[in-house]
Amino acid sequence: MLSRKYRYLIALAQERHFGRAAASCHVSPSTLSAAIRDLEAELGLAVVERGQAFSGFTSEGLAVLDYARRMTAVESDFRLHLTQRGAGLSGRLRLGVIPTALTVVAALSAELARKHPQLTLEILSLNTDAILRRVQSFEVDGGIVYTESSKAAELDFVPIWHEQHVLIAGARTPAWGLRTITWAEAGQLPLCLLTPDMQNRKTINRVFDGLGLCPQPAVETNSIVSMLAHVASGSWCSILPRSVLDNIGIPQGVNVVTLEQPLVSWQTGLVTLARKPRPVAVEALIAAAQILGAD
């Protein structure tokens, strides 16, 4: 099985700090540092850039890190394969999810649990760039992203949901009591939107760009919960997928308004690394996504 030295290296890449990496591995910082020095001696090359604090990996170190991540994935796949031969598929799957899909992903979790009750699904709220980076570095097994984010040749994509966006309005805003509103009119409102690095915000910006508009939000946040709370307080409006409200309900003090002119929708789904053979747990995840996508 994979040497602990390589596991320490992966932890250092994740934490970017010797102390935190050591804590995550349940060892002392001196133990972790000594193990990495031993690894460098075995390989005959420098892996970590030396300094008073961690500052990154050498080019050779990045190659070693890539090897360690690949071998960790292979070992995990092998262990899952062995468990499947016994009492059924068990283990842990890691799934990165864009914030606007955190509510609908419960349907995927339920479908997976129905078929494989011993499999644990770990869900991480991440932006699209982080999801794609972690999928490609074997740090997560899959991700929920928008279709347009999954075009790279090394990725596989299973479409699952189509989502339409709505405006939600606080009680003291001009949109309170409305049933429909145009995108152009929505752009004139006091808006609370996701931060510009979020893919959902980018899709919203593209709609406004197509109308020749560039609204300036009064509040930006990377949290759907924070966005809903701001709107419910009465002073702001926001734009989000209707599916968020379908799954968690409409907060008190929030008016839902249909967006039109234009009518637009986006597709989200499961992205995984394109590799053959696939890990058995990833195959199970893809099968669950395909069932949902066919409904």
Q: In CATH, what number is assigned to the domain containing residue 165?
A: 3.40.190.290
**Do residues 29 and 54 lie in contact, with contact meaning Cβ atoms separated by under 8 Å?**
no
Residues 47 and 128 in one domain: no
Q: List, for residues 53-66, the tens digit of each pLDDT value.
A: 777 888 888 888 88
Measured CA to CA, the distance from residue 63 to residue 47 in angstroms comes to 9
Residue that terminates a domain, selected from 58, 86, 114: 86
Question: What does the pLDDT read at residue 6?
Answer: 78
Please give the average per-residue pLDDT across 130-134, as a whole number.
Answer: 92
pLDDT band at 159 (very low <50, low <70, confident <90, very high): very high
Over 60: is that where the pLDDT of 2 sits?
no
70-88 pLDDT, tens digit each = 777 766 666 666 555 555 6
Averaged pLDDT score across all residues of the chain: 88
pLDDT of residue 77: 64
Q: Helix or strand or coil: residue 165? A: strand
The range of the structural domain enclosing residue 75 comes to 1-86
Rounded to whole angstroms, the Cα distance separating 92 from 89 reads 10
What is residue 11's predicted lDDT score, i.e. its pLDDT?
85
- Judgement on whether residues 113 and 239 belong to the same structural domain of the protein: yes
Instruction: Verify that 71 and 128 share a domain, yes or no.
Output: no
Residue 150 makes CB contacts below 8 A (sequence gap 6+) with 157, 269, 271
- Say yes or no: 52 and 31 in one domain: yes
Asked whether residue 186 falls in the same domain as residue 285, the answer is yes
Could you give the angle at which helices 59-84 and 29-43 cross, rounded to 10 degrees? 100
| Same domain, yes or no: 137 and 270 | yes
* Torsion on CA atoms 173, 178, 180, 181, rounded to nearest 10: -30
Residues 182, 101 share a domain: yes
Q: Write the pLDDT tens digit of every residue in 100-113.
A: 888 889 999 999 99
The count of C-alpha atoms lying within 13 angstroms of the C-alpha of 79, restricted to the half-sphere facing its C-beta, is: 13
Could you report the per-residue pLDDT of 3-29, keeping only the tens digit for each? 788 788 888 888 888 888 888 888 888
Last residue of a domain, one of 68, 86, 104: 86
Per-residue pLDDT band for 177 (boundaries 50, 70, 90) equals: very high
Q: How far apart are alpha carbons 103 and 244 in whole angstroms?
A: 6
Of 65, 86, 107, the domain-final residue: 86
* Total count of domains within the chain: 2
Q: CA 235, CA 169: separation in Å to the nearest integer?
A: 8
Residues 21 and 158 in one domain: no
Q: Identify whether residues 30 and 156 lie together within a single domain.
A: no
Are 180 and 123 in a shared domain? yes
Owner of token pair 């702001």: 236
Q: The CATH number of the domain where 4 resides is what?
A: 1.10.10.10
Do 19 and 46 lie in one domain? The reply is yes
Query: Same domain for 20 and 115?
Result: no
Beta strands in the chain (DSSP E): 91-97, 119-125, 142-146, 155-170, 180-182, 192-194, 219-221, 237-241, 254-260, 265-273
One-letter amino acid at 290 equals: Q
Specify the pLDDT at position 100.
87
Whole-model pTM above 0.85?
Answer: no
Between residues 124 and 139, the one the model is more confident about: 124
